[in-house]
Structure 1
Amino acid sequence: METTKIDRQIPVRTYLDFEKPIAELESKVSELKALEDGEGVSISEEIKKLEQKAKAALVDTYGKLTPWQKTQVARHPDRPHALDYVSALIEDFTPLAGDRYFAEDEAIMGGLGRFRGRSVVIIGHEKGSDTEGRIRHNFGMARPEGYRKAVRLMDLADRFNLPVITLVDTAGAYPGIGAEERGQAEAIARSTDKCLAIGVPLIALVIGEGGSGGAIAIAAANKILMLEHAIYTVASPEAAASILWRDSSKAIDAATNMKITAQDLDTLGVIDVIIREPVGGAHRDRALAIQTAGDAIAKALAEYDGKSPEEIRRLRHERFLNIGRQL
C-alpha cells in the first residue's frame, strides 16, 4: 500500500494562476524573514503587516472563487488524496486487492479498518501524490476491475454489517480501449446498483473531483458530503465544452453553466453537507481538512445507528428520488 504522511512539508508551495497576488505577498514575507535572520535586523513589524495583508488577500480571493477556479483548487496537486485520509482516519487498515475476475486496479483502493472505534469498509479513488504514484494509480481513473473490486468490497460490508465510507476523487472512469473491451459501462452500472442495494449505511465524501459515472459508481450513498472547494459533475468542464461547443477552450463557460460546485449542488439537493476547508483550500492545512472531514463522516454515520437494513435502503432510495421531486 502506498503511504503518505499527512503533515509532509512541501518545499515550494504550488500557486494557481489566480493566486499570483498572494504568491507575491508571501514571497516578500519569506524574503524579509530571510533578511531578518541573515542581517540580524529587526523588521518584525513590516513582516507582520505583510503577513496580515497576505492573509486578507487569501481570505478575499477564496471567498469569491468562480466555478472554474474551484475546479483548479479541486485538482490542486498538493490536495490530500484518499490514502492521506485513510492514513489519518482509519486505524488497522487492511487493504484488499483484486476483483477476482481479471486484475487489481490501483486507481481504486479499498479495504477494512476502524474509524473512530467502529469497523468499516473504506473505498476510494487514489490519484497518487508524485509522478510515480500518479502513473501507478492511473491518475485516479479506474478501469472495470476497480469498480468490480468496489462491488466485492460492498458485498463484504453487507455480509458482515459494516458501514461503507467512500472517498470520491476522479476526473472520470478510464476511457481506454481495453477498459471498454472489458465492460467499463457495465462495471460502473453494477457498482452504482450495488451502492443502492446494500443494507448498511453508505457515506460518500467528494474530496476533490467527482467526475462522471466514475464518481457516481461509488457515490450513490445515503449521505453525500462534499468539501467546500471540490466539484461534482456529469463530465469534466473540458469534456462538456468539447461536446457542447466542440471547443475545449470554453471549459470556463462549461464550468459556470453546469452547476458543479458544492454550493450549487447543495441548493439543488444533489449533496447533503458542505464541509468547510481551511482558508486557501485543503492543501494549505491538510491535517485540519482531513480532521474536519472525519468529524462530518462520523456525524453522518451516527444518523443511521439502530436503523434496520430495510430502512437504510429505503432512505437511500428516497434520497435520490427526492432530487427530481424538488426541482
Structure 2
Amino acid sequence: MHILEFEKPIAELEGKIEELRHLADNGDVNIAEEVARLQAKVDKLLRSTYAKLTPWQKTLVARHPERPHALAVIKSLISDFTPLAGDRCFGEDKAIVGGLGRFRGQSVVVMGHEKGHDTESRLKHNFGMAKPEGYRKAVRLMKMADQFGLPVLTLIDTAGAYPGVEAEARGQAEAIARSIETCLDIRTPSVSVVIGEGGSGGAIALASASSVLMLEHAIYSVISPEGCASILWRSSENAKDAAEALKLTAQDLQRLGVIDQIVTEPLGGAHRNPELTFQNLSAAIDGALSEQMGVDGGVLRARRRDKFLEMGRAGLA
C-alpha cells in the first residue's frame, strides 16, 4: 500500500504485525496476543491521526492512488451497466465514463471522472481531466436521462478540466458552461458525489445536482492548493497554506452550505476498506434519491436552481 508521510508511524506498526504473523509460535511469546495488542495500537493511532487531519493531509488522502475511482464505484453499485461513448460532435473522451444501469433496481444514468489506477489507465483516461467532448458527452447523457425520466448520478474526481491548447480551441469553457446549465435544467432527480478530488469548473460541470454528497476525506474547491499557491505566493511550496485558506474539506463545505451530506469513510480512509466505502455510498445515495423520487420535475428543477442561487446570495451577504 502507498504510504502517506503522516501515516509512517502507522505503517511501522503494521510492518511489525506482518513480521509477527510470519513467525512460528515458539512458546516464549504468544504471537496471537502480540498481534492483537499491536493491532489495537494501530487502530487507536489511525483513529487519532484521521480525527485531526489538516486540510493539506485531507488533500493527500483524497488523491491517494489506491482510493476507489469512478469505475470501481460503478462496478460495485450499478448493475447491468452499459457504457455509452461519444459526444456526437467530435469524439470520445475517456476522462468521463458514463452510461445506463440500475441502482438498487432503479434505472439510472450514471457518469463520473475516471483517473485510472496505473500508468496505462491514467494515460488512457487523461488522469480524469476531461476535454470539451467529455462535457458534451455528459450533456448528451443528461438530456437522454431527462427525456426518459431517469435519475442522474454523477461521481466527481478530477483535478480540473484539461487545460491544453486543443481543449481551449474546441471550446472548453463553453462546454463546461453548457454542462452546468444542463445539470440545472433537467427535470429528473440528480445526485452528485465527490468521491476524491473535486477541482474547479471541471468538477462543477457534473456536480450541480439537487443533492451534493462528499466522502469524508474528499476535497472540493475552485482551484488546487498548488495552483492557488502559485498565484498568491508565486510558489507551490505554500500549498499547505493555500489548502487551509481554500476551505476545501467536506466539513468546511457542509458548514458553508455548499454540500448537503458527508458520507463516512472507513477508519484510515476509503483506500483501506473500499467495500465498506461502497456500502456507505450506496446507503447515502439511496437516501438522497428517495427524497427526490415522486417530486414533480418542475419543482425539482426550481429547487435545484434556487439552491445554487442562494449560495451566491449568501456569498454576497
Aligned 8 A contact 2:55 2:248 in 1: yes
* Aligned match of 1:9: none
Secondary structure, counterpart of 2:92 in structure 1: coil
Secondary structure, counterpart of 1:217 in structure 2: helix
The count of corresponding residues between Structure 1 and Structure 2 is 315
Q: Is 1:314 equivalent to 2:302 in the alignment?
A: yes
Aligned 8 A contact 2:92 2:133 in 1: yes
User: Deviations along 1:226-265, whole A, 9 cap, x unmatched?
Assistant: 0000000000000011111111111000000110000000
Q: 1:76 pairs with 47, 55, 64, which one?
A: 64
User: How far apart, in 2, do the equivalents of 1:187 and 1:283 lie?
Assistant: 32
Q: Is 1:155 equivalent to 2:146 in the alignment?
A: no
User: Deviations along 1:38-65, whole A, 9 cap, x unmatched?
Assistant: 9996322222111111111011000000
User: How far apart, in 1, do the equivalents of 2:133 and 2:10 lie?
Assistant: 43
* Aligned match of 2:18: 30
User: How far apart, in 2, do the equivalents of 1:33 and 1:58 lie?
Assistant: 20
Alpha-carbon distance, 1:323 to partner: 1.9
Root-mean-square deviation (CA, aligned residues, Å) is 1.3
* Aligned match of 1:10: none
Q: Is 1:107 equivalent to 2:86 in the alignment?
A: no
Aligned 8 A contact 1:36 1:42 in 2: no
Secondary structure, counterpart of 2:292 in structure 1: coil
Aligned 8 A contact 1:168 1:206 in 2: yes
Normalization by structure 2: what TM-score?
0.97
Task: Report 1:228-247 matches (<5 A).
Answer: 228-247=216-235
Aligned 8 A contact 1:200 1:312 in 2: yes
Alpha-carbon distance, 1:37 to partner: 6.5
User: How far apart, in 1, do the equivalents of 2:279 and 2:128 lie?
Assistant: 22
Q: Is 1:121 equivalent to 2:87 in the alignment?
A: no
User: How far apart, in 2, do the equivalents of 1:14 and 1:36 lie?
Assistant: 28
Q: Percent of counterpart pairs with the same letter?
A: 63
* Aligned match of 1:223: 211
Q: 2:43 pairs with 55, 58, 73, which one?
A: 55
Unaligned runs of 5+ in 1: 1-12
User: Deviations along 1:183-242, whole A, 9 cap, x unmatched?
Assistant: 111100100111001111110000000000000000011010000000000000000111
User: How far apart, in 2, do the equivalents of 1:43 and 1:261 lie?
Assistant: 40
Unaligned runs of 5+ in 2: none
User: How far apart, in 2, do the equivalents of 1:325 and 1:173 lie?
Assistant: 26
Normalization by structure 1: what TM-score?
0.94
* Aligned match of 2:161: 173
